[in-house]
Amino acid sequence: MNTNKLLQTIRSGWSPIVVIAVTTFGIIAISIYCLASGYFIIFQNLFYIPIIIACVYYIKRGFAFSVIIACLYFLLTLGFTRDQSILLQALVRVLIFVLVAGVITYLSLARKRVEEELRQQSENLEKLVEERTEELEIANKTLQGEVTERYRLGKALQTETMNFDAVFESSPVAMLVIDETTNIVMVNLAGISMCGGDKAEILQHRPGNALRCVHRSKDTRGCGYSKVCKLCKVRNGIEGLIAEGGSMHGAELELELERSSQQGLDEYRC
């Protein structure tokens, strides 16, 4: 079994310390047998297995274990031979064992730091997602409330508009609605009857044109442009209300209007 397969076996459920213990005792037994048989090479490569596993899973403690097992290898070799060249080779292997353990320990520490940073970032991200989700839920509830309120207000406005239109149209009093340019934008049935024309002749016309003021023809542009129009109390009152706001109650204003009769057009005051 190679090291990669052994690590996969550990990840699948075996405890690392059990694997380290089993491989260590097995390698020691193999080492004793090989040394007793006069073999001083090859078998020592098996020591990399527990060294790698220990440094990967236990890091600093694994490094200390690796130093101990490397020294144990040297002591086993020393127990079976006094050959200086063999002992020198064993010492070099001990240093290599320690070096490999140190490199793996360093990489394991770096991996652990990266994993800790990733874990912290993941927690921060989860927390941020939770906060944003909560904010979105609150905003969604607020938006739903606003939509519901606007829908309610829209329905109320629609009802009020319908009521206003009904009252406006059925009123026996002539009523005209004008915009900021003094053009008529709404007129009820009584207003149409008072003007003596149809609705198309009234809307988007100035009051003097719609009501057929006798002075509208004094300028080709109609109501509001002749010299007499500047003295018109009705027009001045309307323009004053548009400019300054407010209201006018109980005012009696005279207009000279043209009305059709059997003999033609008559002028009279109202």
Q: Specify the higher pLDDT residue, 236 or 62.
A: 62
Please give the Cα distance from 51 to 48 (Å, whole number).
Answer: 5
User: pLDDT, tens digit, for every residue of 13-38?
Assistant: 568 889 999 999 999 999 999 999 88
Q: Specify the higher pLDDT residue, 267 or 89.
A: 89
Q: What is the pLDDT of residue 75?
A: 94
Domain borders along the chain are 3-127, 172-269
Lowest mean pLDDT among 56-70, 103-117, 143-157, 182-196: 182-196
Please give the Cα distance from 87 to 99 (Å, whole number).
Answer: 18
CA dist 121 → 113, 117, 262 (Å): 12, 6, 95
Task: Tell me the pLDDT band of 147, cut-offs 50, 70 and 90.
Answer: very high
Which amino acid is it at 241?
L
Lowest mean pLDDT among 7-11, 26-30, 226-230, 243-247: 7-11
* The residue count for the chain: 270
Per the CB < 8 A criterion, the answer to whether 39 and 52 are in contact is: no
Q: What is the pLDDT of residue 120?
A: 92
Task: Provide the β-strand partners of residue 264.
Answer: 261
Task: Tell me the pLDDT band of 104, cut-offs 50, 70 and 90.
Answer: very high
